[in-house]
Amino acid sequence: MLFSVLVILHILAATVWTGGQLILNLRVLPDALKEKSVAQVRSFEKMFEPLRVTSLAIQVISGLWLTSIYLPGGRGLFSFQTPITSLLTTKLILLAIAFALALHAQIRLIPNLNDDNLIELSWHIRSITTVSIAFVIVGAGIRLGGF
């Protein structure tokens, strides 16, 4: 029962995070780039940020918990010896990339965000969206037993 609840929470949180990133990347960002204005991005971020942070926290907690179920004591993690260890290790690498991108945004992009650095922000948005999609694909691989 616990396993099923964790998987469902993890998938719901991933849906929120990835869905929000896709909306930002495919709907909000093109308009902002066309208008050469960060206003729409700021507006979306203000609305979405609490959901993004909450969903990411749920994903991290449930994901680490699920990892401990799949690999008790972390045995085999980072070994790439089996499909499950390869996929779980890949998800942890993606998590490190996501945190690095978030740190970059908080330290470098957001404090200096203006219409002049919208292009740099667009690359950041595209990068984190790519990472979020990769999370979904790798997660599906875990549930499917590998690719």
What residues have CB less than 8 Å from 28, skipping those under 6 apart?
40, 41, 44
Q: Which tokens hold the place of 56?
A: 């990411």
Mean pLDDT of 57-73: 95
Tell whether the model's pLDDT for residue 111 goes beyond 90: no
Q: Tens digits of per-residue pLDDT, 9-46?
A: 999 999 999 999 999 999 999 999 999 999 999 999 99
CA distance 122 to 125: 5
Question: Domain residues of the chain, as ranges?
Answer: 2-67+82-144
Residue 143: which pLDDT band, with cuts at 50, 70 and 90? confident
CA distance 109 to 116: 11
Q: Which tokens hold the place of 44?
A: 């979306």
What residues have CB less than 8 Å from 122, skipping those under 6 apart?
29, 32, 33
